[in-house]
Amino acid sequence: MKGTSSIDPASLQMLKVARDGGLETAWDRYLAQQPQCGFGELGLCCRNCNMGPCRIDPFGDGPQKGVCGATGDIIVARNLLRMIAAGAAAHSDHGRDIIETLRGVAAGEIKDYTIKDENKLKALAREFGISTEGETVQTIAEKLAEAALEEFGTRKGYLQAIDRVPPKRKEIWEKLGIMPRGIDREVVEAMHRTHFGVDNDPANLILHGLRCSLSDGWGGSLLATEFSDVLFGTPRPVRGRSNLGVLSKEAVNILVHGHEPILSEMLVEAAKDPGLISAARAKGASGINLVGMCCTGNEILMRHGIPVAGNFLQQELAVITGALEAVVVDVQCIMPALGQLAACYHTKFISTSPKAKFPGAIHIPFDEHNALETAREIIRQAIENYPNRDKNRVFIPEEATAYVAGFSVEAILSALGGTLIPLIEAVKNKKIRGIAALVGCNNPKVTQDYNHVNMAKALIARDVLVVETGCAAIASAKAGLLLPEAAELAGAGLAEVCRALGVPPVLHMGSCVDISRILTVAAALARELGVDIADLPVAGSAPEWMSEKAVSIGAYVVASGIFTVLGTVPPVLGSNVVADLLTKQAKDLVGGYFAVETDPFKAAELIIAHIDEKRAALGI
Ligand code: XCC
Ligand code: SF4
């Protein structure tokens, strides 16, 4: 859909407010960047050494080699590998922080968190070969945290969670030499290989990219998810509201944005503090209204039903409502533009992570050892700021669509009565045609939410069960697709299953690290059927992706055997060799492969054709 910024009515209203007020957003800056660098779009520029920068002429008239002799194929492959490494690093470092927190809790050094899911703790301990018989929760947690931290530099051969995949998958990875070893090791090796004068074979580079991404999907991200569940509780279906209309005209509004639930969970706790609530009232507010955004929003909506104010492209729009006393951030997907924008309002922009500082932000270091007090201090600052709100500049759109989220693997199993068999039966008798995972970001290159919502609708209408995470899931929440009532938009078969189970046709499975939940379900389905993941009638898509994390995700989903459609074009078209590897040869190598399709309706058709092909091969 060209020429429109968003399909979300709340975003459109806020963009008008921004325009009228002369305020700049990502959409304006995107336009100002036009035309974007053609070399960059194709992946054909290299800055990996100081003989460069070098760029390859895609039309063949100018230079075809960098100073060192690197061709376009080499440069594109190296750049892609670096994107994967950065994405894998982001997810995995998030995972490490969660595990460190669990270790601190177990050792009694961190007092403000407790272990919320002991069953999951024990199940994970058993998976890691740690005996739980007669041991205290504390001891198990300590041993498990140590074992999980080992995964980052382990020398035992391959990562623990690889044992979740069917034997056929392992054989493929072993044969190709892409079994993920230590999590940190794969990222380090990616940086080593792309350093000047090391790996200059495009296929060899891409294969390592797959290995590095697997250390994210089956390593860092998976540990982030599992340990968050242990510490903060495994999500269960929960109701909430979504979009900017969740901001309150009367209450102190605090937006938490970023990724790691360590911060957001404590803010949820602190916001309940009666002392702080009366402090807010003393300032003339009706109370404290904590809302989320992007993935940290997903973390707290999955576990507490905390309202989610929006997805990636709404972070600036939330400030422009004029109703935010504070934007509190930790890491990832936070626009550096927020500082300057917040300064146009009374809004305090508060950074909390030593890893992520921003211009125009107040830095309040968040220390896990003093978590509740830090969270209280942040909320106090927001309360203090309430009298500075200029009521004449407040504009809050009405949209606040209801959703049901919280579909962890455990929640899905319990909805199915304890086993995957009913799901398999529904797939076999074609009530459910297949499963599609829609994930990832917004990107101003795409009309906001247009691809997400239209793909989801097109797929459920054809009886494809949709599972979602990240900003894709928030798009569906806002569009009303995360409600059991949305079954009326589904095909007859899927609608029947949804009604019988009381679930929506689009299941919100969490934040982006929680794509590991989707992998876990896919692996379990394959094991149950005695086939490989690549044999299942499932597909993935990142319809509006923008981040390097999404590149790592796409790579591990494909490497896990799953066909994946990208809705924005990755910077690889400067190399036929690399493009061919990703979209064709990958199919023979790992079973999964990429397609690029910017039209959501055509993308849905690609997924349906793939699902039907897999069904036929399975004889169902
Ligand atoms: Fe970020 Fe996770 Fe993308 Fe959204 S979907 S823009 S990565 S918040 Ni993860
Ligand atoms: Fe140029 Fe080669 Fe250096 Fe890249 S590594 S900047 S292509 S000389």
For the segment 115-119, the average pLDDT, to the nearest whole number, is 98
583 lies in some domain: yes
Q: Which atom of ligand 2 is nearest to the CA of 74?
A: 7
- Residue indicated by tokens 């969970």: 265
Q: Which of 200, 232, 264 is the last residue of a domain?
A: 232
Assess whether 104 and 253 both reside in one domain: no
CA 183 – ligand 1 centroid, Å? 21
Question: What separation, in Å, do the N-terminal and C-terminal C-alpha atoms of the chain show?
Answer: 36
How many residues belong to the chain? 620
Q: At 121, which CATH number?
A: 1.20.1270.30
Q: Both 516 and 431 in a single domain?
A: yes
Tell me: do 547 and 589 sit in the same domain.
yes
pLDDT of 220 reads 98
Q: Provide the pLDDT confidence category of residue 1 given band limits of 50, 70 and 90.
A: low
Nearest to 531 by CA among 465, 583, 610, 591: 591
Q: Which of 176, 202, 232 is the last residue of a domain?
A: 232
Rounded to whole angstroms, the Cα distance separating 506 from 98 reads 28
Q: Which residues are annotated as a binding site?
A: 37, 45-46, 49, 54, 68, 259, 295, 333, 441, 471, 512
Interacting residues of 587 by C-beta distance below 8 A, sequence separation 6+:
593
Check whether residue 280 and residue 170 sit in a common domain: no
Query: Per-residue confidence at 154, pLDDT binned at 50, 70, 90?
Result: confident
**What ipTM goes with this model?**
0.96
Structural domain includes residue 147: yes
In-domain check, residue 8: no
> Is the separation of the CB atoms in 529 and 427 below 8 Å?
no
Residue with tokens 């707290």: 300
Residues framing ligand 1 (Cβ under 6 A): 294-295, 312, 333, 440-441, 470-471, 511-512, 547, 549-550
- Is 443 in the same domain as 323? no
Query: Is the per-residue pLDDT at 531 higher than 70?
Result: yes
* Ligand 1: residue whose CA is nearest its atom 1: 333
Annotated binding site for [Ni-4Fe-4S] cluster: 259, 295, 333, 441, 471, 512
**Backbone CA torsion sign across 485, 490, 494, 495:** positive
Co-location of 191 and 262 in the same domain: no
Do 226 and 96 lie in a common domain? yes
Specify if 401 maps to a domain.
Answer: no
Please report the pLDDT score of residue 224 as a whole number.
98
Give the residue whose CA is nearest to atom 6 of ligand 2: 52
Q: What pLDDT score was predicted for residue 74?
A: 98
Per-residue pLDDT band for 2 (boundaries 50, 70, 90) equals: low
Determine if the peptide bond prior to 600 is cis (ω within 30°): no
Q: Are residues 442 and 478 in the same domain?
A: yes
Query: What residue numbers bound the domain in which 467 lies?
Result: 412-618
Is the same domain home to 306 and 164? no
DSSP 448: B
Domain C-terminal end among 232, 260, 282: 232
Q: Confirm whether 1 is domain-assigned.
A: no
pLDDT in tens, 470-529: 999 999 999 999 999 999 999 999 999 999 999 999 999 999 999 999 999 999 999 999
How far does CA 309 lie from the centroid of its chain?
16
In a domain, residue 14? The reply is no
Q: What is the pLDDT of residue 258?
A: 98
Which residues, at least 6 apart from 217, have a Cβ–Cβ distance to it below 8 Å?
515, 516, 519, 552, 553, 556, 557, 559, 560
Task: Based on the fold, state whether residues 201 and 313 are members of the same structural domain.
Answer: no
Q: 388 with 422, same domain? A: no
Q: Are residues 105 and 129 in the same domain?
A: yes
The predicted pLDDT at position 486 comes to 98
CATH number of the domain that 323 lies in?
3.40.50.2030
Residue entry with tokens 């499932």: 538
Residue 71 buriedness (CB in 10 A; 0-12 / 13-18 / 19+) = middle
Residue 355 lies in a domain: yes
Residues contributing to the annotated binding site for [4Fe-4S] cluster: 37, 45-46, 49, 54, 68
In a domain, 11, yes or no: no
DSSP annotation string for 29-71: HHHHTPSPPHHHHHT-EE-SSTT--EE--TTSSS-SB-TT--B
